[in-house]
Amino acid sequence: METRGRLGIPSDGAIDPITLVESKGCLVWTPQDVPELDICHIRQLTISDPDSWDAVTIKEGNCTVIVINNTRPAARQSNTIMHEWAHLELKHKPSRVDQFENGLLLLSDYPKEFEDEADWLSGAMLAPREGLLSLRRRGMDDAQIAETFRISSQLATWRIRMTGIDRQFSRRY
Amino acid sequence: MSLQIQELGARVVKHRGVNGVRAAAAEIGVSPATLSRVENGHVPDLATFAKICEWLGEDPAVFLGLEASGAVRPPPTVHMRKKNTTSVDTATALGAMIVAVQNAIIAREEL
């Protein structure tokens, strides 16, 4: 809520993840923005196999670049950028990338607990409990809440379930 | 002897023999879904790859065919949101993209 407050965004308003990460000095690129990336790799990542990945965050020195899979729906891209921001905010140790002479990439590891933590924080940033409660009180259904926060309906439903606001709401009203 | 990473899956299938994927995955310490994807030619993360190589009794370098590229620069570090395993082509494209971004950042800093 502090971060939302700093950005002047109320708890029931949509947050723009790109503005947030750019305010932290990160750059957001698409694969097409990456200088000197061979067209065959862009094609592999955006046409042949776009469903295998969502984003990569690369930190080099003081600069951080998030490359987002821009073939995904806008709401999913927002969630992914916020997820990457969460990794940075939570100071998760990044995975080391070993690339071999044949170009093959292997990550040192892919800790599920880091992914789960980042999912939780990004969801809380995009759709905070207080905001969910406020929108529910105004009679909004899951789809309307998703639209208000500019998130996917799946994420809205997940956040509503996880925060238990419907149970709280039904007890009080 | 040098093998290709694509051959890892076939070696896993051969090594587990009549044992099921679940039993082999439990022995290795990975999920059955991950092992199944590896058997189908997908590339795991390095930790999973190392566990599988240990179970196979093979040196990981055999599948990579070579040592990690001897670049002077330290390897990049990343956070990545992706499936647990990917095809060889996608792993290669992601690797190329990461290196290209790293190069671009270094070029910017040298300006």
Interface of B with A in 34-93 (CB under 8 A): 43-47, 49, 64-69, 75-84, 86-93
Each residue of B15-38: pLDDT tens digit?
998 889 999 999 999 999 999 989
pLDDT at B7 over 90: no
Q: Give backbone dihedrals phi and psi of B4, rounded to 5 degrees, phi first.
A: -105, 155
Interface of A with B in 47-66 (CB under 8 A): 48-49, 51-61, 63, 65
Q: Which tops the pLDDT comparison, B66 or B102?
A: B102
The alpha-helical segments, DSSP class H, found in A46-152 are 74-89, 112-126, 129-137, 142-149
Q: What is the pTM of this model?
A: 0.78
The SS3 of residue A10 is: coil
pLDDT: which is higher, B64 or B55: B55
Contact B76 A108 (CB under 8 A): no
- Confidence at residue B2, expressed as pLDDT on a 0 to 100 scale: 43
pLDDT per 10-residue tile (average), chain A, 173 residues: 82 93 93 95 96 91 92 94 93 80 68 88 94 94 95 94 84 63
Question: Do A138 and A147 form a contact (C-beta atoms < 8 A)?
Answer: no
What pLDDT is attached to residue A7?
Answer: 81
Three-class SS of residue A68? strand
Q: Give residue A45's pLDDT.
A: 96
Tell me how far apart the alpha carbons of residues B107 and B111 are, in angstroms, rounded to a whole number: 6
Mutation pick from A54, A58, A115, A119 vs chain B, by most beta carbons of B within 10 Å, is A58
**What pLDDT does residue B1 have?**
40
Predicted local confidence at residue B73, as pLDDT: 67
Mutate to test the interface with A, among B37, B45, B53, B79 (most CBs of A within 10 A): B79
ipTM: 0.84
Taking the CA of residue B13 and the nearest CA in chain A, the distance in Å comes to 21
Say if the Cβ atoms of A97 and B106 lie within 8 Å. Answer: no
Per-residue pLDDT at B91: 84
